[in-house]
Structure 1
Amino acid sequence: MPISETWLLPDGVADVLPEQAQVIESLRRKALDFLASRGYQLVYTPFIEYIESLSSLSESNQDLDLATFKVIDQLSGRLLGVRADMTPQVARIDAHVHPVEGVARYCYAGTVLHTKPQGFNTTRAPLQLGAELFGSDSIDADVELIDVMINLLQTAGHSDGIHLDLGHVGLFRSLVKQAGLSKAIERQLSDLYQRKALPELAEFTQTLPFGQDFYTLGRFASDLDALQANLSAEVLNNEAFKLAFDAVKSTQAAIQARWPELHIGIDVVELRSYHYHTGLMYAVYAPNRAAPLAQGGRYDGIGEHFGRARPATGFSCDLYALTAGQVQSAKVLVAPKGIDADLLNAIASARNEGFSVVQLLGNDDLSSVSSASHQLVNANGEWTIKQI
């Protein structure tokens, strides 16, 4: 390979330069401190594991399976996977490595790797930060995670104009079961809902059992009152449907009480990661952004793969996406070389004031520090800081 090409990176990955790295690292620290203040314990997970361990989600989420890099372990000959999502790893910790009784709360931050970008203009190596709550099937747990998610986004500087979307896979799933539909029909319906293709949905549902109800679910997906008024009594009396419907209404009311100014939208046929989620789903969007700032939902039973099925809910976000376009230049103070006690004391004092102090080396001068913003100078025997 020519030398001119050796510095090139693969598509979808990039270096993070000092001005942005400082912003990202500052947010990572603040976010983890905030999560710790809410009782979420920090865990670190390995970047690579046996694929069987990571498959606790990928078996039910083909998208995650396709996003996972797979390599052969030269020590054991077994197939390894590079983590594409940290949730399965935290589920393994809860189920097998650190099996506490009652509710467990964990948080994490680390790089994950995707075989392909998961959205327009996104990286293949996001810096994923998230929180997971295990051991509670109460709506209160979902409300807590949503509240934590919104607070965390405020910590990241995202508060103006944000929008919360709520959904629940249980409405569609219970109706599919009630109608006795095949997996192929279920997939076709899911695709129509995702594309918001109402004319196609109207035609497709004409010959289905509960066809009018399937159409109504798509037609009034964002209006719970209209949905309730137009669904058949048979569907509304279905116990699983009622539980899902009430969960959405209760969650909306609880979040609105905590965040009166927050705009909350409902979409009961938002079926992203449909086979992965088992209940409520939630995502926060910001103006002029197509992808969510953070998203999550309920995924009960995830630990069954490790021998301990537990209720679970959680969310995650990409710190790179949260800080996109933000830069922060450090206050870099250049000090002359020397070991005079007064000089060293002045350097220590400047560092305590928040300066990054660079002491010159050898025959270097001020021009050798390209990021310099201030200079330490001696005026009449006193060391003072001068802005450049």
Structure 2
Amino acid sequence: MTEAIAPGLLPEGLADRLPPKAEASARLVREVLDTVASYGYRRVMPALAEFEETLVARLQSARAEDLLRAVDPLSQRSLAIRPDMTAQIGRIAATRMAATPRPLRLCYGGPVMKLRADQLRPERERMQVGAEIIGTDSVAAAVEIVNVAIEALQRAGVSGITIDFTLPDLVTMLADGPMPLPQGDVEAVRDSLDAKDAGSLAALGEAARPYLALIEATGPFHPAMERLQAFNAGPAKGKLDNLIAALRAIAKPIGWDITLTLDPTERHGFEYQSWFGFSVFAEGFIGEIGRGGSYAVAGADGKAEPAMGFSLYPDPLIDAGFGTTAAQRAFLPIGHDGARAAALRVEGWVTIAALDEADDPLALGCGAILDGTELRRL
């Protein structure tokens, strides 16, 4: 016999958000989306679940076995709850908004769910907020996306922001050009560079050894860029001229209060990005709170469409108190002046109306009481 589930118990990795964190979550998401909307991004609200085969076809960074699935009793087809909203934005852009002029700017916010949690975050359900430009992955689009992400976080009260740039297809570009590798070694070189494992990289042989210099081109942005420039002038034979110019253009307008770093061979989590990617970190938080970059959207006709975007995962910020505000709460006794109460709400007060003569304003969290037409502090 199955043991009864205790009242209030939720599945592992799922949790309720209670006041004031639920309010803080809504406020922080709204702050980010309002910032993004001011740059011309229009909000879309994708469905929570889709047919599994449709979703899997567009998920480039998640495997089918990572999806939480169920059988739809109406269609008798397998459904999957979204683990990421970016794939859904690609579907909407390629189908229902295929005729909308490009570049198409869209934004979104909502919960996503994974079958399993990762090591840094035990939650299987988390909030995702982001923005995408469909139709271009140009340097100008990268400049806009990075700076919109920064401004959205700053307006939400986040400080100590670090942006870490990466070049996801760098090894492929070099292996196909000035630094050829045996076909079977390309993935091994990528993995060694991603892990910063100089020993395993050197053990791959003579063709892989020039790639060791890329491990040194990691760290604070300007020194790392100098090392990358030296690498470009040497083993890369100038192949990286355009990428280096693009990175400098993206970094140029970013404020002095933002820390910039470079990890040109970072691949974990950027498997589906193309020429450019970035991670977002904030002081006092373990792990990244967002990431973005360039990628391709599969069109309805099978042709790939370039895109650029970012996603933020604000749950750690909410847990740390971001988005929380101390609202002024006023108690309205039975028979209060309705017009005066309405005026208080316009002024920014939260009003708590008595439903019974025994209601206690202090127990209800009120710091003032409406006495006639006057507000009296408690």
Common fold: TM-score over 0.5: yes
Cα gap change, 1:305 to 1:52, in 2 (>3 Å): farther
> Counterpart of 2:213?
216
How many Å separate the matches in 2 of 1:182 and 1:330?
A: 62
Give the deviation of 1:17 after TM superposition.
Answer: 1.4
Q: CA deviation at 1:15?
A: 1.2
- Cα distance in 2, alignment partners of residues 4 and 71 from structure 1: 21
Distance apart, 1:318 and its partner CA: 1.5
Task: Provide the residue aligned with 1:34 in structure 2.
Answer: 35
Report the equivalent of 1:108. Answer: 108
Tell whether 2:339 aligns with 1:345: yes
Contact 1:167 1:248 in 2 (8 A): no
Contact 1:95–1:307 (CA under 8 A) maintained in structure 2: no
Contact 2:58 2:298 in 1 (8 A): no
The equivalent residue for 2:120 is 120
Aligned to 2:138: 138
1:82-231 equivalences under 5 Å are: 82-99=81-98, 100-159=100-159, 161-178=160-177, 179-182=180-183, 185-202=185-202, 204-205=203-204, 207-209=205-207, 211-222=208-219, 223-230=224-231
1:250 to 1:133, Cα distance in 2 relative to 1, 3 A? same
Residue 372 of structure 2 is aligned to residue 386 of structure 1: no
Report the Cα offset of residue 42 of structure 1: 0.6
Q: CA deviation at 1:133?
A: 0.3
| From 257, 269, 275, the counterpart of 1:273 | 269
Task: Identify which of 311, 316, 339 aligns with 1:321.
Answer: 316
Q: CA shift at 1:369, angstroms?
A: 4.6
Q: Which amino acid aligns with 2:330?
A: L
The structure 2 residue matched to 1:334, chosen from 321, 331, 345, is 331
What percentage of aligned pairs have identical amino acids? 26
Q: Cα RMSD (Å) of the superposition? A: 2.5
Structure 1 residue 372, shift from structure 2 partner? 2.5
Cα distance in 2 for residues equivalent to 1:335 and 1:72? 50
Q: Which residue of 1 aligns with 2:279?
A: 283
Indicate if the aligned counterparts of 1:48 and 1:80 stay in contact, CA closer than 8 A.
yes
Moved more, 291-300 or 365-374: 365-374
* Inter-partner Cα distance in structure 1 for 2:362 and 2:256: 53
Structure 2 match to 1:372: 366
Q: Distance in 2 between matches of 1:122 and 1:143?
A: 33
Query: Structure 1 residue 306: deviation in Å?
Result: 6.3
**Which runs of no fewer than 5 residues in structure 1 stay unpaired?**
none
Could you say what secondary structure the match of 1:105 adopts? strand
Segment of structure 1 superposing worse, 269-278 or 87-96: 269-278
Q: 1:322 and 1:248 mapped to 2: Cα distance? A: 33
Q: Secondary structure at the match of 1:97?
A: coil
Equivalent residue for 1:251, pick from 247, 254, 262? 247
| 2:294 is the counterpart of 1:294 | no
Q: CA deviation at 1:2?
A: 7.2
**Structure 1: how far apart are the matches of 2:286 and 2:356?**
52
Q: Which amino acid aligns with 2:320?
A: G
Q: Which amino acid aligns with 1:361?
A: L
Larger mean Cα displacement after TM superposition, 2-11 or 350-359: 2-11
| Structure 1 pair 208–96 and aligned structure 2 pair: CA distance change class (3 A) | farther
Query: What is the DSSP-based 3-state SS (H/G/I as helix, E as strand, rest coil) of the residue aligned with 2:236?
Result: helix
Q: Give the paired residue count.
A: 368
C-alpha displacement of 1:113: 0.6
Paired position in structure 2 for 1:51: 52
2:97 corresponds to which letter in structure 1? Answer: H
Q: Give a deviation string over 1:264-301, Cα, whole Å, max 9, x none.
A: 1111111123431111001121223221222101112x
**1:276 partner amino acid:** Y
TM-score, scaled to structure 1: 0.86
Q: Distance in 1 between matches of 2:248 and 2:316?
A: 26
Cα shift at 1:118 = 3.2
Query: Does 125-134 or 24-33 show the bigger shift?
Result: 24-33
Higher helix share: 1
Q: Equivalents in 2 of 1:387, 1:173: separation in Å?
A: 67
SS of 1:235's equivalent in the other structure is coil
